[in-house]
Copies of this chain bind each other. A is one copy, B any other.
Amino acid sequence: MAELAGFAANGGSGLYGYSRNSTFQRKAIEGAKELIDKAIAEKLEINDFSSTKAFQVADLGCSVGPNTFLAVQNIIDAIELKYKKCQGQSSSLQLPEFQVFFNDQISNDFNQLFTSLPPERRYYAMGMPGSFHGRLFPNGSLHFVHSSFSLQILSRVPNEVVDKSSPAWNKGRIHYTNSSDEVFRAYEAQYEKDMERFLNARAQEIVHGGLMALILPCCPNGKSHSEAFVNMTIDLLGSSLVDMARKGMISEEKVDSFNIPTFNASLSQVEAIVKRNGCFRIEILKSLPQEKPQPKVLSSTMRACMEGMIKQHFGYEILDELFDLLSKKFEESFSSSEPEIEISLFVLLKRKYNK
């Protein structure tokens, strides 16, 4: 996840720990498996790396597992398969060793991550603390980068939305969903800036011909941002907080100054940002339809991801009531019979050779 204080998922093995509340994200990783397999089979030019002794993989915004271990294993399995196929054509090709870097912000629970590393792994596992909006690795050192459900997190809340004197002041809301155009544009501008920094850093770190697979919660093309499922969930969190402020359980001012620093881009927004940056070629870009999660599961997932920053802003006491309320709102709002929805997108990028 990102450098923003408090926006690390919950560590530990407790009831609301990320490791117990990340089925939703795991389903997206499983959905992406087939696409990653295909991408590695068809788009990875092993010959570019024939002198590589250690194939270096990074998972950016890995949190504490187990999803990251699943994602990494999928990638390594697919690369090994590709090498074995290529060895059929060129017997001199050696299967490389694998070195995997697990990255998340410094406040991530790396101790939990390390103690839960799969004992039977066939790779050297490293932890890399720091913000992926800046440089993390040496020049041209990575061959495959993966990041799932992390890149939507902004490096910061846009200044304007907490500035009372700004037309983008986000009074009574906690996100750009259903808010003013000014608020939306402030979020969008921050996202574009962050993505540009992210792509520039990765462009230096990934070898020419290397791949990057990103899974992001998204706004489906053709839908307004307020209709996107992920945005609606945040909006309901916002209205739960507003309800609690009305009941006097938290102050209205606290709600006004609280903003969730995420931006859920559409496919065409992602496409435009990557093209403008110019360092990567888009090999695959598509949405990942997914079963709509159950209200209780969804509420716990959001708690695992956002509890840290909510606690920091509003205090520990409100958590149980807030997420109970949110779970009820999910039940009321999402009871319709739409079993599969577009929650996330998958994009596979290849580092260009000539830039």
Contacts and interface: CB of A to CB of B under 8 A. Distances in A.
A296 B138 CA distance: 44
A95 to B, nearest CB: 12
Contacts of A144: none
A137 B355 CA distance: 31
A93 interface: no
A53 interface: yes
Query: Which of A54, A128, A129, A137 gathers most chain B CB within 10 Å?
Result: A129
A126 B126 contact: yes
A145 to B, nearest CB: 15
A267 B140 CA distance: 42
Contact of A115 (B97, B99, B106, B137): B106
Contact of A53 (B115, B127, B129, B138): B138
Contacts of A135: 124
A176 interface: no
B54 A139 contact: yes
A111 B125 CA distance: 16
Nearest to A96: B138
Contact of A138 (B101, B124, B138): B124
A309 interface: no
Interface in A163-201: none
B129 A129 contact: no
A110 interface: yes
Interface of A: 53-54, 97, 99, 101, 106-107, 109-111, 114-115, 117, 124-130, 135-141
